[in-house]
A and B are shown apart, each in its own frame.
Chain A
């Protein structure tokens, strides 16, 4: 059974600081997704990582994937208040149509 663990689950940080969210998963997969969810809203796709060593950046967010370590990171650079949200990583267990297995999410609060 595929398990996806994120840490930390809760993070409060100040604007301007850097931080990293970690996502570990338990079985082989080469597809990992990061989503953002604002309170009471749906999920917004941030990154799709498809191969070992993949790195993608969008603004102050950068995601990477190490399939050998079964680890993905989401790095936040010089955080701003607008990045406050819950961030989920999700893993696709196989090569087919199976749905995603999600982590519990990291609730991020960025204080001015």
Chain B
């Protein structure tokens, strides 16, 4: 059981480039989330999904897009990267909402220069 996996671990982008951050979970969880963590700060929710084909915006969705075609995968797309998107990105999953805890992936450290 790998849990939540993310690729890549590190990435440097130039301003204006695009990329997709991959997230996969093997726990058969319905709910998946993307957060970003800026230095010295807590995590902020970007997007979340309650099941395949269903996504919704979180607190800081601008500049990002998501899709959820399968239960296992929840990729995050950055279009036209900007320096403000330099951050560590964490994917998380949970069995459901309510009392179920979220399990976090190892993170992707992204630098935009």
Which stretch of A13-21, A56-64, A72-80, A99-107 is in the interface?
A: A99-107
Q: Is A102 a contact of B99 with CB atoms below 8 Å?
A: no
Which stretch of B19-27, B35-43, B69-77 is in the interface?
A: B35-43
Shortest Cβ distance from A14 into chain B, in angstroms?
24
A27-50 near B? 1/0 per residue, CB < 8 Å: 000010101000001110100101
Q: Is B35 a contact of A99 with CB atoms below 8 Å?
A: yes
Q: Is A97 a contact of B31 with CB atoms below 8 Å?
A: yes
Where the two chains meet, the residues of B that have a C-beta atom closer than 8 Å to any C-beta of A are 31, 33, 35, 40-45, 48, 50, 56, 58-59, 90, 92, 96-99, 101-107
Where the two chains meet, the residues of A that have a C-beta atom closer than 8 Å to any C-beta of B are 4, 31, 33, 35, 41-43, 45, 48, 50, 88, 90, 92, 95-105
